[in-house]
Copies of this chain bind each other. A is one copy, B any other.
Protein backbone atom coordinates (compact mmCIF):
# COMPACT_ATOMS: atom_id res chain seq x y z
CA UNK A 1 0.00 0.00 0.00
CA UNK A 2 2.95 2.37 0.36
CA UNK A 3 3.30 2.11 -3.43
CA UNK A 4 0.00 3.81 -4.04
CA UNK A 5 0.71 6.31 -1.28
CA UNK A 6 3.92 7.32 -3.02
CA UNK A 7 2.09 7.83 -6.30
CA UNK A 8 -0.60 9.81 -4.51
CA UNK A 9 1.94 12.12 -2.88
CA UNK A 10 3.80 12.60 -6.13
CA UNK A 11 0.63 13.63 -7.92
CA UNK A 12 -0.37 15.83 -5.00
CA UNK A 13 2.84 17.74 -5.54
CA UNK A 14 1.94 18.10 -9.20
CA UNK A 15 -1.47 19.34 -8.06
CA UNK A 16 0.25 21.91 -5.86
CA UNK A 17 2.13 23.17 -8.89
CA UNK A 18 -1.21 23.42 -10.71
CA UNK A 19 -2.62 25.45 -7.85
CA UNK A 20 0.39 27.75 -8.01
CA UNK A 21 -0.17 28.04 -11.75
CA UNK A 22 -3.82 28.89 -11.07
CA UNK A 23 -2.96 31.57 -8.54
CA UNK A 24 -0.51 33.15 -10.98
CA UNK A 25 -3.30 33.19 -13.56
CA UNK A 26 -6.01 34.46 -11.25
CA UNK A 27 -3.76 37.24 -10.04
CA UNK A 28 -2.81 38.20 -13.59
CA UNK A 29 -6.45 38.55 -14.57
CA UNK A 30 -7.70 40.20 -11.39
CA UNK A 31 -5.13 42.26 -9.49
CA UNK A 32 -1.72 42.20 -11.17
CA UNK A 33 -0.42 45.62 -12.24
CA UNK A 34 -0.52 45.92 -16.02
CA UNK A 35 3.17 46.54 -16.47
CA UNK A 36 4.03 43.05 -15.29
CA UNK A 37 2.37 41.07 -18.07
CA UNK A 38 5.56 39.96 -19.70
CA UNK A 39 7.33 38.97 -16.49
CA UNK A 40 4.26 37.11 -15.30
CA UNK A 41 3.97 35.14 -18.52
CA UNK A 42 7.57 34.04 -18.05
CA UNK A 43 6.89 32.82 -14.53
CA UNK A 44 3.75 31.01 -15.67
CA UNK A 45 5.66 29.35 -18.51
CA UNK A 46 8.39 28.35 -16.06
CA UNK A 47 5.97 26.70 -13.62
CA UNK A 48 4.16 25.01 -16.47
CA UNK A 49 7.40 23.57 -17.80
CA UNK A 50 8.53 22.51 -14.35
CA UNK A 51 5.27 20.61 -13.86
CA UNK A 52 5.44 19.02 -17.30
CA UNK A 53 9.00 17.81 -16.73
CA UNK A 54 7.99 16.14 -13.50
CA UNK A 55 4.91 14.64 -15.09
CA UNK A 56 6.82 12.96 -17.92
CA UNK A 57 9.76 11.90 -15.74
CA UNK A 58 10.95 8.33 -15.29
CA UNK A 59 9.91 8.61 -11.69
CA UNK A 60 6.28 8.99 -12.72
CA UNK A 61 6.57 5.95 -14.93
CA UNK A 62 8.10 3.91 -12.15
CA UNK A 63 5.53 4.97 -9.56
CA UNK A 64 2.67 4.09 -11.89
CA UNK A 65 4.18 0.69 -12.70
CA UNK A 66 4.60 -0.11 -9.04
CA UNK A 67 1.12 1.05 -8.12
CA UNK A 68 -0.30 -1.13 -10.88
CA UNK A 69 1.05 -4.18 -9.11
CA UNK A 70 -1.01 -3.48 -6.01
CA UNK A 71 -4.13 -5.63 -5.72
CA UNK A 72 -7.47 -4.57 -4.30
CA UNK A 73 -7.17 -0.84 -4.57
CA UNK A 74 -10.13 0.94 -3.05
CA UNK A 75 -12.38 3.21 -5.09
CA UNK A 76 -10.34 6.36 -4.52
CA UNK A 77 -6.90 4.86 -4.98
CA UNK A 78 -8.06 3.08 -8.09
CA UNK A 79 -9.25 6.39 -9.55
CA UNK A 80 -6.01 8.10 -8.52
CA UNK A 81 -4.05 5.50 -10.44
CA UNK A 82 -6.37 5.71 -13.42
CA UNK A 83 -6.09 9.49 -13.65
CA UNK A 84 -2.34 9.41 -13.10
CA UNK A 85 -1.95 6.93 -15.95
CA UNK A 86 -4.25 8.88 -18.19
CA UNK A 87 -2.36 12.12 -17.68
CA UNK A 88 1.07 10.55 -17.87
CA UNK A 89 0.40 8.50 -20.97
CA UNK A 90 -0.99 11.42 -22.89
CA UNK A 91 1.84 13.69 -21.82
CA UNK A 92 4.66 11.34 -22.80
CA UNK A 93 3.29 10.89 -26.27
CA UNK A 94 3.81 14.55 -27.14
CA UNK A 95 7.39 15.70 -27.81
CA UNK A 96 8.53 18.52 -25.50
CA UNK A 97 9.30 20.68 -28.55
CA UNK A 98 5.67 20.54 -29.61
CA UNK A 99 4.51 21.42 -26.09
CA UNK A 100 6.73 24.45 -26.19
CA UNK A 101 5.69 25.44 -29.70
CA UNK A 102 2.05 25.19 -28.66
CA UNK A 103 2.57 27.39 -25.62
CA UNK A 104 4.61 29.98 -27.51
CA UNK A 105 2.25 30.18 -30.47
CA UNK A 106 -0.85 30.28 -28.30
CA UNK A 107 0.20 33.65 -26.90
CA UNK A 108 1.17 35.08 -30.28
CA UNK A 109 -1.95 33.72 -31.90
CA UNK A 110 -4.09 35.18 -29.13
CA UNK A 111 -2.61 38.61 -29.84
CA UNK A 112 -3.21 38.09 -33.56
CA UNK A 113 -6.82 37.21 -32.89
CA UNK A 114 -7.32 40.27 -30.70
CA UNK A 115 -5.99 42.56 -33.38
CA UNK A 116 -8.05 40.84 -36.09
CA UNK A 117 -11.21 41.19 -34.04
CA UNK A 118 -10.53 44.83 -33.24
CA UNK A 119 -9.94 45.60 -36.90
CA UNK A 120 -12.67 43.23 -37.98
CA UNK A 121 -10.28 41.62 -40.45
CA UNK A 122 -10.13 37.84 -40.62
CA UNK A 123 -7.04 37.91 -42.82
CA UNK A 124 -5.00 39.10 -39.80
CA UNK A 125 -6.00 35.99 -37.88
CA UNK A 126 -5.89 33.54 -40.77
CA UNK A 127 -2.16 32.71 -40.60
CA UNK A 128 -2.41 32.19 -36.84
CA UNK A 129 -5.51 30.07 -37.10
CA UNK A 130 -3.77 28.01 -39.75
CA UNK A 131 -0.78 27.59 -37.47
CA UNK A 132 -2.87 26.63 -34.43
CA UNK A 133 -4.90 24.10 -36.42
CA UNK A 134 -1.71 22.65 -37.81
CA UNK A 135 -0.17 22.31 -34.33
CA UNK A 136 -3.34 20.81 -32.88
CA UNK A 137 -3.48 18.27 -35.69
CA UNK A 138 0.06 17.26 -34.87
CA UNK A 139 -0.83 17.15 -31.19
CA UNK A 140 -3.85 14.94 -31.81
CA UNK A 141 -1.79 12.65 -34.05
CA UNK A 142 0.82 12.22 -31.33
CA UNK A 143 -1.82 11.43 -28.72
CA UNK A 144 -3.35 8.87 -31.06
CA UNK A 145 -5.64 7.21 -28.55
CA UNK A 146 -8.54 7.26 -31.00
CA UNK A 147 -8.43 6.53 -34.73
CA UNK A 148 -10.47 9.65 -35.46
CA UNK A 149 -8.08 12.55 -34.99
CA UNK A 150 -10.66 15.00 -33.62
CA UNK A 151 -11.62 12.52 -30.89
CA UNK A 152 -8.18 12.95 -29.35
CA UNK A 153 -8.96 16.61 -28.81
CA UNK A 154 -12.51 16.04 -27.56
CA UNK A 155 -11.13 13.62 -24.99
CA UNK A 156 -9.09 16.44 -23.42
CA UNK A 157 -12.24 18.15 -22.21
CA UNK A 158 -14.74 15.30 -22.03
CA UNK A 159 -12.96 12.01 -21.35
CA UNK A 160 -14.43 9.34 -23.54
CA UNK A 161 -16.40 11.67 -25.78
CA UNK A 162 -16.11 10.88 -29.49
CA UNK A 163 -17.12 12.72 -32.55
CA UNK A 164 -19.61 9.96 -33.47
CA UNK A 165 -21.22 10.05 -30.05
CA UNK A 166 -21.62 13.81 -30.21
CA UNK A 167 -22.89 13.66 -33.77
CA UNK A 168 -25.57 11.23 -32.68
CA UNK A 169 -26.62 13.43 -29.81
CA UNK A 170 -26.69 16.58 -31.88
CA UNK A 171 -28.29 15.07 -34.98
CA UNK A 172 -31.56 14.59 -33.17
CA UNK A 173 -31.20 17.71 -31.07
CA UNK A 174 -30.71 20.15 -33.91
CA UNK A 175 -34.05 19.72 -35.77
CA UNK A 176 -35.97 19.54 -32.53
CA UNK A 177 -34.46 22.77 -31.29
CA UNK A 178 -35.33 24.33 -34.63
CA UNK A 179 -38.91 23.20 -34.34
CA UNK A 180 -39.27 24.72 -30.86
CA UNK A 181 -37.50 27.87 -31.95
CA UNK A 182 -39.80 28.30 -34.93
CA UNK A 183 -42.88 27.92 -32.77
CA UNK A 184 -41.63 30.52 -30.33
CA UNK A 185 -40.69 32.93 -33.08
CA UNK A 186 -44.16 32.57 -34.61
CA UNK A 187 -45.91 33.41 -31.36
CA UNK A 188 -47.51 36.82 -31.21
CA UNK A 189 -46.81 37.05 -27.51
CA UNK A 190 -43.14 38.11 -27.54
CA UNK A 191 -41.43 39.20 -24.30
CA UNK A 192 -39.98 42.69 -24.19
CA UNK A 193 -36.45 43.04 -22.84
CA UNK A 194 -36.18 46.81 -22.69
CA UNK A 195 -36.58 46.85 -18.90
CA UNK A 196 -33.21 45.09 -18.62
CA UNK A 197 -31.43 47.83 -20.55
CA UNK A 198 -32.26 50.63 -18.13
CA UNK A 199 -29.49 52.00 -15.97
CA UNK A 200 -28.66 49.85 -12.93
CA UNK A 201 -26.07 51.12 -10.46
CA UNK A 202 -22.96 48.89 -10.62
CA UNK A 203 -22.48 48.96 -6.83
CA UNK A 204 -26.05 47.81 -6.25
CA UNK A 205 -25.83 45.12 -8.91
CA UNK A 206 -22.73 43.82 -7.18
CA UNK A 207 -24.36 43.84 -3.74
CA UNK A 208 -27.43 42.05 -5.09
CA UNK A 209 -25.31 39.37 -6.72
CA UNK A 210 -23.38 38.84 -3.49
CA UNK A 211 -26.70 38.42 -1.68
CA UNK A 212 -27.72 35.77 -4.21
CA UNK A 213 -24.59 33.67 -4.05
CA UNK A 214 -24.52 33.80 -0.26
CA UNK A 215 -28.02 32.36 -0.29
CA UNK A 216 -26.89 29.78 -2.85
CA UNK A 217 -24.41 28.63 -0.19
CA UNK A 218 -21.28 29.96 -1.84
CA UNK A 219 -18.92 29.78 1.14
CA UNK A 220 -16.88 32.96 1.53
CA UNK A 221 -14.75 31.23 4.15
CA UNK A 222 -13.27 29.20 1.32
CA UNK A 223 -14.01 31.43 -1.65
CA UNK A 224 -13.90 34.91 -3.17
CA UNK A 225 -15.87 36.96 -5.67
CA UNK A 226 -13.95 39.55 -7.69
CA UNK A 227 -14.34 41.55 -10.88
CA UNK A 228 -12.65 40.75 -14.16
CA UNK A 229 -13.16 41.44 -17.86
CA UNK A 230 -14.39 37.91 -18.53
CA UNK A 231 -16.06 35.94 -15.73
CA UNK A 232 -14.31 32.73 -14.68
CA UNK A 233 -13.92 30.22 -11.84
CA UNK A 234 -10.58 28.94 -10.61
CA UNK A 235 -9.46 26.77 -7.70
CA UNK A 236 -6.29 27.54 -5.78
CA UNK A 237 -7.14 24.74 -3.35
CA UNK A 238 -10.31 22.85 -2.51
CA UNK A 239 -10.52 25.34 0.33
CA UNK A 240 -9.92 28.33 -1.96
CA UNK A 241 -12.32 28.58 -4.88
CA UNK A 242 -12.54 31.94 -6.61
CA UNK A 243 -15.07 33.30 -9.02
CA UNK A 244 -15.16 36.53 -10.97
CA UNK A 245 -17.97 38.39 -12.65
CA UNK A 246 -18.52 41.64 -14.50
CA UNK A 247 -21.06 44.41 -14.44
CA UNK A 248 -22.71 46.10 -17.41
CA UNK A 249 -24.56 49.14 -16.14
CA UNK A 250 -27.19 49.07 -18.87
CA UNK A 251 -27.67 45.34 -19.15
CA UNK A 252 -28.76 43.83 -15.88
CA UNK A 253 -28.65 40.09 -16.78
CA UNK A 254 -24.92 40.10 -17.46
CA UNK A 255 -23.87 40.40 -13.82
CA UNK A 256 -26.70 38.38 -12.31
CA UNK A 257 -26.51 35.34 -14.55
CA UNK A 258 -22.76 35.53 -15.00
CA UNK A 259 -22.33 35.44 -11.24
CA UNK A 260 -24.81 32.60 -10.71
CA UNK A 261 -23.12 30.66 -13.53
CA UNK A 262 -19.69 30.94 -11.94
CA UNK A 263 -21.18 30.23 -8.53
CA UNK A 264 -22.47 26.95 -9.97
CA UNK A 265 -18.94 26.01 -11.01
CA UNK A 266 -17.66 27.02 -7.58
CA UNK A 267 -20.22 25.00 -5.64
CA UNK A 268 -18.98 21.94 -7.50
CA UNK A 269 -15.35 22.62 -6.54
CA UNK A 270 -16.32 23.49 -2.97
CA UNK A 271 -18.18 20.24 -2.53
CA UNK A 272 -15.36 17.74 -3.06
CA UNK A 273 -15.00 15.19 -0.28
CA UNK A 274 -12.07 15.84 2.05
CA UNK A 275 -10.44 12.54 1.13
CA UNK A 276 -9.63 13.75 -2.37
CA UNK A 277 -8.49 17.29 -1.51
CA UNK A 278 -5.05 17.99 -2.99
CA UNK A 279 -5.12 14.74 -4.98
CA UNK A 280 -5.28 14.43 -8.74
CA UNK A 281 -9.02 13.80 -8.34
CA UNK A 282 -9.66 17.22 -6.84
CA UNK A 283 -11.64 18.85 -9.62
CA UNK A 284 -14.67 18.40 -11.82
CA UNK A 285 -14.87 15.11 -13.69
CA UNK A 286 -15.18 16.73 -17.13
CA UNK A 287 -15.83 20.10 -18.71
CA UNK A 288 -19.31 18.95 -19.67
CA UNK A 289 -20.23 17.94 -16.12
CA UNK A 290 -18.70 21.15 -14.82
CA UNK A 291 -20.74 23.13 -17.28
CA UNK A 292 -23.84 21.21 -16.21
CA UNK A 293 -23.42 22.57 -12.70
CA UNK A 294 -22.99 26.17 -13.80
CA UNK A 295 -25.92 25.92 -16.22
CA UNK A 296 -28.17 24.14 -13.79
CA UNK A 297 -27.82 27.02 -11.34
CA UNK A 298 -27.79 29.74 -13.98
CA UNK A 299 -30.61 28.56 -16.23
CA UNK A 300 -32.74 25.91 -14.60
CA UNK A 301 -32.72 27.58 -11.18
CA UNK A 302 -31.64 31.17 -11.83
CA UNK A 303 -34.10 31.77 -14.67
CA UNK A 304 -36.99 29.92 -13.03
CA UNK A 305 -40.28 31.38 -11.76
CA UNK A 306 -39.57 30.04 -8.26
CA UNK A 307 -36.23 31.80 -8.11
CA UNK A 308 -37.74 35.16 -8.94
CA UNK A 309 -40.73 34.63 -6.64
CA UNK A 310 -38.14 34.96 -3.94
CA UNK A 311 -35.67 37.43 -5.45
CA UNK A 312 -37.79 39.86 -7.47
CA UNK A 313 -39.13 41.75 -4.42
CA UNK A 314 -35.53 42.11 -3.26
CA UNK A 315 -34.40 43.30 -6.67
CA UNK A 316 -37.24 45.83 -6.68
CA UNK A 317 -35.96 47.19 -3.38
CA UNK A 318 -32.49 47.61 -4.86
CA UNK A 319 -33.81 49.35 -7.97
CA UNK A 320 -37.18 50.91 -7.16
CA UNK A 321 -36.66 53.63 -9.79
CA UNK A 322 -36.74 50.99 -12.54
CA UNK A 323 -38.76 48.13 -11.11
CA UNK A 324 -41.23 49.37 -8.50
CA UNK A 325 -44.14 49.23 -10.93
CA UNK A 326 -42.83 46.56 -13.24
CA UNK A 327 -44.61 43.20 -12.81
CA UNK A 328 -42.66 40.11 -11.80
CA UNK A 329 -44.28 38.07 -14.56
CA UNK A 330 -42.98 40.45 -17.23
CA UNK A 331 -39.52 40.48 -15.67
CA UNK A 332 -39.50 36.70 -15.80
CA UNK A 333 -40.39 36.79 -19.50
CA UNK A 334 -37.76 39.44 -20.20
CA UNK A 335 -34.87 37.45 -18.73
CA UNK A 336 -36.02 34.35 -20.60
CA UNK A 337 -36.71 35.83 -24.02
CA UNK A 338 -35.63 33.51 -26.81
CA UNK A 339 -34.14 35.39 -29.72
CA UNK A 340 -31.67 34.31 -32.37
CA UNK A 341 -28.53 36.41 -32.30
CA UNK A 342 -25.13 36.13 -33.92
CA UNK A 343 -23.20 36.17 -30.65
CA UNK A 344 -22.84 32.97 -28.61
CA UNK A 345 -22.23 34.53 -25.21
CA UNK A 346 -25.39 36.60 -25.51
CA UNK A 347 -27.53 33.65 -26.57
CA UNK A 348 -30.56 32.45 -24.62
CA UNK A 349 -31.04 29.03 -23.15
CA UNK A 350 -32.45 27.55 -26.35
CA UNK A 351 -30.40 29.04 -29.18
CA UNK A 352 -27.13 28.60 -27.24
CA UNK A 353 -26.84 24.96 -28.20
CA UNK A 354 -27.30 25.84 -31.87
CA UNK A 355 -24.24 28.09 -31.66
CA UNK A 356 -22.33 25.12 -30.30
CA UNK A 357 -23.52 22.72 -32.95
CA UNK A 358 -22.29 25.18 -35.59
CA UNK A 359 -18.80 25.19 -34.08
CA UNK A 360 -18.78 21.41 -33.62
CA UNK A 361 -19.63 20.86 -37.26
CA UNK A 362 -16.84 23.17 -38.36
CA UNK A 363 -14.28 21.56 -36.07
CA UNK A 364 -15.19 18.13 -37.45
CA UNK A 365 -14.53 19.36 -40.97
CA UNK A 366 -11.28 21.04 -39.96
CA UNK A 367 -9.75 17.99 -38.33
CA UNK A 368 -10.91 15.68 -41.09
CA UNK A 369 -8.97 17.91 -43.52
CA UNK A 370 -12.20 18.65 -45.35
CA UNK A 371 -12.01 22.40 -45.34
CA UNK A 372 -9.42 25.14 -45.86
CA UNK A 373 -8.98 27.85 -43.30
CA UNK A 374 -9.86 30.57 -45.79
CA UNK A 375 -13.23 28.92 -46.43
CA UNK A 376 -14.22 29.03 -42.76
CA UNK A 377 -15.73 32.54 -42.51
CA UNK A 378 -18.10 31.91 -45.37
CA UNK A 379 -19.17 28.52 -44.07
CA UNK A 380 -19.64 30.01 -40.63
CA UNK A 381 -22.02 32.61 -42.01
CA UNK A 382 -23.85 30.06 -44.11
CA UNK A 383 -24.44 27.75 -41.14
CA UNK A 384 -25.53 30.68 -39.02
CA UNK A 385 -28.17 31.44 -41.63
CA UNK A 386 -29.38 27.82 -41.60
CA UNK A 387 -29.47 27.45 -37.83
CA UNK A 388 -30.46 30.88 -36.63
CA UNK A 389 -31.86 32.57 -39.70
CA UNK A 390 -29.42 35.43 -39.60
CA UNK A 391 -26.08 36.33 -40.92
CA UNK A 392 -23.30 38.17 -39.04
CA UNK A 393 -22.69 41.74 -40.18
CA UNK A 394 -18.97 41.07 -40.21
CA UNK A 395 -16.32 38.59 -39.10
CA UNK A 396 -15.95 40.21 -35.69
CA UNK A 397 -19.56 39.16 -35.06
CA UNK A 398 -18.93 35.90 -36.88
CA UNK A 399 -15.93 33.64 -36.82
CA UNK A 400 -13.79 36.09 -34.82
CA UNK A 401 -16.14 36.31 -31.85
CA UNK A 402 -14.67 33.52 -29.69
CA UNK A 403 -11.29 33.38 -28.01
CA UNK A 404 -11.05 29.56 -27.92
CA UNK A 405 -9.51 28.73 -31.28
CA UNK A 406 -6.87 31.43 -30.92
CA UNK A 407 -5.42 29.50 -27.99
CA UNK A 408 -5.75 26.15 -29.72
CA UNK A 409 -8.73 24.97 -27.67
CA UNK A 410 -10.40 22.85 -30.34
CA UNK A 411 -12.83 20.28 -28.97
CA UNK A 412 -13.82 22.52 -26.09
CA UNK A 413 -17.07 23.97 -27.45
CA UNK A 414 -19.15 20.77 -27.27
CA UNK A 415 -18.80 20.86 -23.46
CA UNK A 416 -21.18 23.80 -23.35
CA UNK A 417 -23.93 21.90 -25.16
CA UNK A 418 -23.23 18.76 -23.15
CA UNK A 419 -23.58 20.91 -20.04
CA UNK A 420 -27.15 21.78 -21.03
CA UNK A 421 -28.05 18.14 -21.61
CA UNK A 422 -26.39 16.85 -18.44
CA UNK A 423 -28.00 19.64 -16.40
CA UNK A 424 -31.55 18.82 -17.49
CA UNK A 425 -31.07 15.10 -17.03
CA UNK A 426 -29.61 15.57 -13.55
CA UNK A 427 -32.25 18.08 -12.55
CA UNK A 428 -35.02 15.77 -13.69
CA UNK A 429 -33.84 13.09 -11.25
CA UNK A 430 -33.34 15.67 -8.51
CA UNK A 431 -36.95 16.74 -8.91
CA UNK A 432 -38.08 13.17 -8.38
CA UNK A 433 -35.93 12.65 -5.32
CA UNK A 434 -36.32 15.92 -3.44
CA UNK A 435 -39.79 16.31 -2.04
CA UNK A 436 -41.19 19.82 -2.19
CA UNK A 437 -38.25 21.08 -4.25
CA UNK A 438 -40.34 23.73 -5.97
CA UNK A 439 -41.50 25.10 -2.62
CA UNK A 440 -37.96 25.15 -1.26
CA UNK A 441 -36.83 27.11 -4.28
CA UNK A 442 -39.58 29.69 -4.07
CA UNK A 443 -38.59 30.21 -0.43
CA UNK A 444 -34.95 30.77 -1.32
CA UNK A 445 -33.93 27.49 0.27
CA UNK A 446 -31.29 25.94 -1.98
CA UNK A 447 -29.85 23.58 0.57
CA UNK A 448 -31.90 20.48 -0.41
CA UNK A 449 -30.86 20.79 -4.07
CA UNK A 450 -27.23 21.51 -3.19
CA UNK A 451 -27.17 18.57 -0.80
CA UNK A 452 -28.52 16.36 -3.57
CA UNK A 453 -25.86 17.56 -6.01
CA UNK A 454 -23.11 17.19 -3.40
CA UNK A 455 -24.19 13.70 -2.53
CA UNK A 456 -24.55 12.51 -6.12
CA UNK A 457 -21.98 14.55 -8.04
CA UNK A 458 -19.81 17.12 -6.31
CA UNK A 459 -18.15 15.02 -3.65
CA UNK A 460 -16.75 12.58 -6.19
CA UNK A 461 -14.59 14.96 -8.19
CA UNK A 462 -12.85 12.83 -10.78
CA UNK A 463 -13.56 9.51 -9.06
CA UNK A 464 -16.10 8.51 -11.70
CA UNK A 465 -15.64 9.31 -15.41
CA UNK A 466 -18.49 11.41 -16.83
CA UNK A 467 -20.39 8.65 -18.59
CA UNK A 468 -20.36 6.49 -15.50
CA UNK A 469 -21.36 9.40 -13.31
CA UNK A 470 -24.43 10.34 -15.35
CA UNK A 471 -25.55 6.74 -15.36
CA UNK A 472 -25.14 6.48 -11.59
CA UNK A 473 -27.07 9.70 -11.05
CA UNK A 474 -29.89 9.28 -13.56
CA UNK A 475 -29.93 5.59 -14.30
CA UNK A 476 -29.51 6.14 -18.02
CA UNK A 477 -27.07 7.31 -20.65
CA UNK A 478 -26.84 10.96 -21.56
CA UNK A 479 -29.61 11.92 -23.97
CA UNK A 480 -31.34 15.07 -25.10
CA UNK A 481 -34.87 14.19 -24.01
CA UNK A 482 -34.78 16.01 -20.67
CA UNK A 483 -33.32 19.13 -22.14
CA UNK A 484 -35.97 19.29 -24.85
CA UNK A 485 -38.71 18.63 -22.31
CA UNK A 486 -37.36 21.35 -20.09
CA UNK A 487 -37.42 23.82 -22.97
CA UNK A 488 -40.96 22.96 -23.99
CA UNK A 489 -42.28 22.95 -20.43
CA UNK A 490 -40.77 26.32 -19.85
CA UNK A 491 -41.20 28.20 -23.11
CA UNK A 492 -44.51 26.98 -24.51
CA UNK A 493 -46.55 28.39 -21.62
CA UNK A 494 -44.43 31.52 -21.61
CA UNK A 495 -45.15 32.11 -25.29
CA UNK A 496 -48.76 30.96 -25.01
CA UNK A 497 -48.25 27.92 -27.19
CA UNK A 498 -50.41 24.87 -26.67
Residues in B whose Cβ lies below 8 Å from that of A33: 220-224, 239-240
Please judge, given known A-B contacts A33-B223, A33-B224, A221-B35, whether A42 and B27 are in contact too, CB under 8 Å. no
Residues of chain B within 8 A (CB-CB) of A34 are 221
Check B40 against A20 for contact (C-beta < 8 Å): no
Cα-based distance from A236 to B28 in the complex (angstroms) = 11
Q: A32 at the A/B interface (Cβ < 8 Å)?
A: yes
Contact B40 A237 (CB under 8 A): yes
- Asked if residues B47 and A20 are in contact (CB atoms below 8 Å), the reply is yes
A23 interface residue per 8 A CB criterion:
yes
Binary per-residue interface labels of chain A (31-73) against chain B in the complex, 1 for a CB within 8 Å, 0 otherwise:
1111110111011001100000000000000000000000000
The answer to the question of A78 belonging to the interface, with a C-beta cut-off of 8 Å to chain B, is no
A278 close to chain B: CB less than 8 A: yes
- Closest CB-CB distance, A477 to chain B, in whole Å? 37
- Shortest A52–chain B CB gap in Å is 14
- Tell me whether A13 is interfacial, beta carbon within 8 Å: yes
In the assembled complex, the Cα of A43 lies from the Cα of B24 at a distance in Å of 13
* Contact between chains at B239 and A38 (CB < 8 Å): yes
A37, closest chain B residue (CB): B239
Is the pair B219, A36 in contact by a Cβ cutoff of 8 Å? no
Residues on B with C-beta less than 8 A from A43 are 16, 19-20, 237
CB-defined contacts of A163 to chain B, threshold 8 Å = none
Chain A, range 216-243, C-beta contacts under 8 Å to B? 219-224, 236-240
Neighbouring B residues of A19 by C-beta, 8 Å: 43
A43 (CB) vs chain B CBs: closest residue: B16
Chain B residue numbers with a CB within 8 Å of A236 are 27, 32, 36
Cβ-defined contact, B35 with A222, below 8 A: yes
The size of the chain A interface, using a CB distance under 8 A, is 33
Task: Indicate if the CB atoms of A240 and B32 lie closer than 8 Å.
Answer: yes
Q: Report A17 CB to chain B, min CB distance, Å.
A: 8
Nearest Cβ in chain B — how far from A167, in angstroms?
42
Specify the chain B residue showing the minimal Cβ separation from A242.
B33
Q: How far is the CA of A20 from the CA of B224 in the complex (A)?
A: 20
Q: Taking the nearest CB of chain B, how far is it from the CB of A55, in angstroms? A: 15
Q: Which of A27, A33, A46, A219 has the most CB of B within 10 A?
A: A33
**Given A13-B46, A33-B223, A223-B33, A238 and B39 contact (CB-CB distance below 8 Å):** yes
Query: In the complex, A16→B49 CA distance in Å?
Result: 13
What CA separation (Å) do A224 and B224 show in the bound complex?
A: 19
Which B residues are CB-close (under 8 A) to A40? 237, 240
Chain B residue, CB-CB nearest to A39 = B237
A23-B24, A24-B23, A27-B23 known; A16-B36 Cβ under 8 A: no
Partner of A36, one of B42, B46, B237: B237
Asked whether A39 and B224 contact (CB < 8 A) given A20-B47, A27-B23, the answer is no
B35–A239 touching, CB < 8 Å: yes
* Bound complex: CA A240 to CA B278 (Å): 29
Q: Which residue of B lies closest to A238 (CB)?
A: B39
- A20-B47, A23-B24 in contact; A278/B31 too (CB < 8 A)? no
Q: How far is the CA of A223 from the CA of B33 in the complex (A)?
A: 6
Q: Using A19-B43, A20-B24, A31-B31 as known contacts, list a sample of 17 further A-B pairs with CB atoms less than 8 Å apart, ordered by residue number in A.
A: A13-B46, A16-B46, A20-B47, A23-B24, A23-B27, A27-B27, A27-B236, A33-B224, A35-B219, A35-B239, A36-B240, A39-B237, A39-B238, A39-B240, A39-B278, A42-B278, A43-B237
